[in-house]
């Protein structure tokens, strides 16, 4: 089995020791991704902006792996505050309109207090 590691150039990948995504046996496993804006190296304050950023980073990793958001079969959403989930619904509904993956929303603390959402996906290569 061939394993390919995908990096999005995040400084955290090297510091923490992980890959943004791993491709193995036709599957793409994308690490939990927060809403960090790597262009400005800041974390937006609004959960909706963080959600969009996380999906953009995920989409970039999937493209590097040869897949897209339409190939996602499983998604986990992790939010510290359950009240922040509903404002993200339209964003994730649009992102996964075609894929309609199996999904779970989990309430849990994230690495830093400014992080309001983390998204993890599994996709199947087309």
Instruction: Give the pLDDT confidence of 18-53 residue by residue, as tens digits.
Output: 999 999 999 999 999 999 998 898 999 999 999 999
For the record, the structure tokens of 96 come out as 């996964």
Domain ranges of the chain: 3-124
Yes or no: say if 68 and 41 are a contact pair by the CB < 8 Å rule.
no
pLDDT at 11: 83
Instruction: Give the pLDDT confidence of 46-91 residue by residue, as tens digits.
Output: 999 999 999 999 999 999 999 999 999 999 999 999 999 999 999 9
Task: Indicate if the pLDDT at residue 118 is higher than 90.
Answer: yes
For the domain spanning 3-124, the CATH number is 3.30.1330.40
Whole-model pTM over 0.85: yes
pLDDT band at 106, cuts 50/70/90? very high
pLDDT at 58: 98
């Amino acid at each position: 089995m061939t394993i390919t590691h995908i990096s999005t150039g995040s400084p955290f990948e090297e510091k923490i020791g992980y890959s943004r995504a791993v491709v193995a046996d036709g599957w793409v496993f994308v690490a939990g991704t927060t809403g960090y804006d790597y262009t400005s190296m800041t974390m937006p304050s609004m959960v909706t902006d963080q959600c969009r950023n996380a999906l953009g980073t995920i989409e970039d990793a999937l493209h590097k792996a040869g897949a897209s958001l339409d190939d996602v079969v499983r998604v986990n959403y992790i939010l510290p505050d359950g009240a922040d989930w509903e404002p993200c619904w339209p964003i994730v509904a649009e992102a996964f309109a075609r894929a309609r993956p199996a999904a779970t929303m989990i309430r849990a603390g994230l690495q830093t207090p400014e992080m309001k959402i983390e998204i993890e996906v599994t996709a199947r290569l087309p």
